[in-house]
Amino acid sequence: MELSTVWFLLIALLFVGYFVLEGFDFGVGMLLPVLGRDERERRVMINTIGPVWDGNEVWLITAGGAMFAAFPEWYASVFSGFYLPLLLILLALILRGVAFEYRGKRNDPVWRRRWDRCIVFGSFVPAVLWGVAFANIVRGVPLDADHDYIGGFFTLLNPYALLGGLTTLALFLTHGAVFIALKTVGDIRQRANRLAERLGIAAVLAAALFLGLTLARRATTPALILAVLAALCLVGGLIANRLPSRDDPQGRREGWAFAGTAAAIALAVASLFADLYPFVLPSTVDPVTNSLTVANASSTPYTLKIMTWVAVIFTPLVLLYQGWTYWVFRKRIGTQHIPEELVTPQPATR
């Protein structure tokens, strides 16, 4: 296997990890005002992702860096043609990160509500626009002979791409609701379970329509297999979410449910990359001449060789560290774990 293909697979793996991990904390952020009925419950929801949300974003940074080094033409065409959507995603992620850090700086309900809105907005925008961006990458965009994007912003907002955004939105909301149920106890856990059922129906319908249209355009056997497996995992996760837990009569099998939604997102993203290969960015102007492929968009073999050795050495270390982080913070939390002084406004002092 050529190194350019190896790096295409590695970039696909990085985006799979990013959407699975960042997907549930996007979902938690969007559901903050829905499931968090008071400040204590909102603190519980934020604390479920507090130790991991910034680490999840490392997957995106690494994927972008790998694209830049391994496929510079792909990186240049995507980041110039998709400049405005990617800028909006970046600004939303910055606003979201600032909101996580600043909402607890003042013990004031109005202050917290404003930052909570920033968390919702900063989670919603990437959840939609990542689906729009990847749908356009798979569908193809207008590229000229120099591989430059010649469309406009509204060219990217075609019906197929908007359906992709709706699909990622529904999947992340479902994934987030299941994660909240997995990580909490008490009333918020039960409400998250019930909400995951309703959101899951929308996610199944949107994902089935989007993947069906994708495969109808240019179906490959690996992409078809992965899409079917993604659908089965999503349905299986939703079924597990309805089954009573053996250990806790008050709960359900959230662990299996979360594994199902995580596998569904991973397989769906993998299906898109399988459908895309050997292209990295198809051209709708002249698919044969103007499209970017794994072969014509890659760096030199020497560059890919050096990158491969670096990845072999450091990737296992990063995975071990992030796995250790999730293990340390694996326990459930509830409102009883939030101190009273963190949720009760304090009187002003002179």
Please give the backbone phi and psi of residue 281, each rounded to the nearest 5 degrees, phi first.
Answer: -155, 95
Residue 99 is inside which H or E element, if any?
A: helix 83-102
What parts of the chain have a pLDDT lower than 70? 1, 249-251, 340-350
In whole angstroms, what is the distance from residue 325 CA to residue 18 CA? Answer: 16
Query: What is the reported pLDDT for 304?
Result: 92
User: Model pTM?
Assistant: 0.92
Query: What is the reported pLDDT for 249?
Result: 67
Query: What is the reported pLDDT for 344?
Result: 60
Please give the backbone phi and psi of residue 348, each rounded to the nearest 5 degrees, phi first.
Answer: -70, 145
Nearest to 226 by CA among 165, 286, 198, 267: 267
Sign, CA dihedral 138-144-149-153, equals negative
Residue 65 identity (one-letter amino acid) = G
> Cis omega before residue 287 (within 30°)?
no
In whole angstroms, what is the distance from residue 54 CA to residue 58 CA? Answer: 7
Query: What is the reported pLDDT for 240?
Result: 92
Query: What is the reported pLDDT for 348?
Result: 45
DSSP state of 281: E
Query: What is the reported pLDDT for 349?
Result: 42
Query: pLDDT tens digit string along 229-276?
Result: 999 999 999 999 988 877 776 667 899 999 999 999 999 999 999 999
Query: What is the reported pLDDT for 72?
Result: 93
Any idea where the domains of the chain sit in the sequence?
3-342
Cβ distance 139 to 165 under 8 Å? no
Following DSSP, what letter does each residue of 117-132 receive, concatenated? HHHHHHHHHHHHHHHH
Query: What is the reported pLDDT for 70?
Result: 93
Q: What six digits make up the tokens of 176?
A: 């987030």
Query: What is the reported pLDDT for 345?
Result: 54
In whole angstroms, what is the distance from residue 184 CA to residue 268 CA? Answer: 27
What is the distance, to the nearest Å, from the Cα of residue 231 to the centroid of all Cα atoms in its chain?
A: 17
Query: What is the reported pLDDT for 347?
Result: 47
Following DSSP, what letter does each residue of 126-176 receive, concatenated? HHHHHHHHHHHHHH-B-B-TTS-B---GGGS--HHHHHHHHHHHHHHHHHH
In whole angstroms, what is the distance from residue 156 CA to residue 150 CA? Answer: 11
- Give buried/exposed letters for 151-180 (b at 16+ CB in 10 A, else e): eeeeebebeebebbbbbbbbbbbbbbbbbb
